Amino acid sequence: DTAVSQTPKYLVTQMGNDKSIKCEQNLGHDTMYWYKQDSKKFLKIMFSYNNKELIINETVPNRFSPKSPDKAHLNLHINSLELGDSAVYFCASSQKGVSEQFFGPGTRLTVL
Amino acid sequence: DQQVKQNSPSLSVQEGRISILNCDYTNSMFDYFLWYKKYPAEGPTFLISISSIKDKNEDGRFTVFLNKSAKHLSLHIVPSQPGDSAVYFCAAGPYNTDKLIFGTGTRLQVFP
C-alpha cells in the first residue's frame, strides 16, 4: 500500500552507461515530480508532469529524459551517465494546485 | 542563489524540551511554506504548512510561525521526543505552486 514507490532503491553503474529509474504513485494524484538531492543535501526540482504533460523543466542536461506513460507513472531515463550524476533521486506526487507533495523513498545512484 | 535558507545544519535538544528550527527566505513571491521531516534512507514526509495569510499554524506538538516582514519562519516542537530525531526541511513557493524551493535541512537530535 506504498503511496509513492521507486525502483530501484540503489543503482551502481559505470560512467557512460544508460539507466532508468521508475516511479509509481497510487494516490490518484495528477502531478508528479523528480527531485535530485546532491552531496550538499540540496533538494532541487528537476521536472514536473501534470497528466502526462511536462510542466516544469529546470536547467537539467538533456541526457535526462522523463517519460510519463500515464498519470500514475513517471520514469527517469539518464543517458551517458557522468560522475556528477551521483545523487539521491526522489520522485514525488501531488494533486494539481495543492502544494503538499508526497515523496518516494529515493533512489541512490552511484556512478563509478 | 539560495532562496530558502536553513542556517543551522544541526540542533541537539533534550527530550521534553522545546526544539526550534529556523528558516529564512528571500523571494517575496513566496506565500506558502511547508516543513518536511526526513528519516535516513526514506523520502521527506510532509509535517505542517502555513500560508502567508496566517502567522501561526498548530498541529499537535508542532507549531509553525511565520514572520512575513522578516521573511522568516520557524518550527516549534514541544515537547521534543527521541522519535523526532530526523532532518527537517523547510520549503516555500507561491500558493498552489507545483514548484517548491527547499532549504538544505537541519538535523535535529533529541537525546534522553
Q: For residue A45, give the nearest of B34, B95, B100 by CB distance.
A: B100
pLDDT band at A1 (very low <50, low <70, confident <90, very high): low
User: How many angstroms away from the CA of A21 is the closest CA of chain B?
Assistant: 15
Mean pLDDT of B1-29: 94
Using the predicted structure, report yes or no on whether residue B9 has a pLDDT greater than 80.
Answer: yes
Query: How sure is the predictor about B24, in pLDDT bands with cuts at 50, 70 and 90?
Result: very high
> For the residues A46-57, what does the mean pLDDT come to?
86
Output the pLDDT for position B68: 95
B49 at A interface, C-beta within 8 A? yes
Could you say which of B46, B96, B99 has the minimum Cβ distance to residue A97?
Answer: B96
Q: What is the mean pLDDT of chain A?
A: 92
CA distance B95 to B64: 17
Amino acid at B80: S
Residues of B in contact with A40 (CB under 8 A): 104
DSSP chain B: --SEE---SEEEEETTS-EEEEEEE--TT--EEEEEEE-TTS--EEEEEEETT-SEEEETTEEEEEETTTTEEEEEESS--GGG-EEEEEEEESTT-S--EE---EEEEEE-
pLDDT score for B2: 81
How does residue A45 score in pLDDT terms, banded at 50, 70 and 90?
very high
Mean pLDDT within A3-11:
96
Cα(B32)–Cα(B29) distance, integer angstroms: 9
Choose among A56, A100, A105: nearest Cβ to B99: A56
Checking if the pLDDT of A40 tops 90, the result is no
What ranges make up the beta strands (E) of A1-112? 4-7, 10-13, 19-25, 31-37, 43-50, 53-57, 64-70, 73-78, 87-94, 102-103, 107-111
pLDDT of residue B112: 92
pLDDT tens by residue, A52-67: 888 888 878 899 999 9
